[in-house]
Amino acid sequence: MLSHCHECGALNPLKDDTILIGAPEVSAQSQWLPNESPRGPQVDFIRSAVSQTNVQLAYLDEEISQLRHRLKQLEEKRAELLDYRTRNVAVLSPLRRMPPELLAEIFSWTLPPPSPDLSGCAAVKHSPWILAQVSKYWRTVALSQPALWSLVYLDYTKFLAHLT
């Protein structure tokens, strides 16, 4: 039977953790080769060896189970720390400290070029709409720049189709 530590509850290794396998087993195996059954003390010895092996296997299985549980705990803690670090590194991003004037200049370069085919440029997935959805700071900068919002697209083709 497995014994447990009275202080921490961990399994204690067996006092005699050497499995009685070796020369006696080899001689027992050599006797089994001709398909003869072991006799007398050999049977007792083999049963004892199997019993001791089962106890040690149970001990090792329990230890492995505890180590897997501990490994899972450590991996979860590591994932939490990685997430914590990622969030803190993001706070230190140079983009967060960029002056609004420079950010507005960058925003102006994201506008679609004026062209006769402006279909879809007013969609919220395009600049400047998308810029105002990134963060509160970006929204403030984008909304404070009239040049970003001065291009108005009006599609009269649908209206003209109704007149004719």
Q: Does residue 119 have a pLDDT over 50?
A: yes
Q: pLDDT-based confidence at 160, cuts 50/70/90? A: confident
Q: How far apart are CA 129 and CA 143, in angstroms?
A: 10
pTM assigned to the model: 0.49
Q: Does residue 22 have a pLDDT over 50?
A: no
Partners of residue 11 on adjacent β-strands: 4
Please state the domain extents for the chain.
Answer: 3-92, 97-163
Q: How far is CA 143 from CA 75, 99, 118, 126, 148, in A?
A: 44, 15, 21, 15, 8
Q: Residue 137: name the closest of 95, 89, 106 by CA.
A: 95
**pLDDT tens-digit series, residues 43-58:** 888 899 999 999 999 9
Q: pLDDT-based confidence at 79, cuts 50/70/90? A: very high
The C-alpha torsion from 108 through 114 and 119 to 124, rounded to 10°, is 10
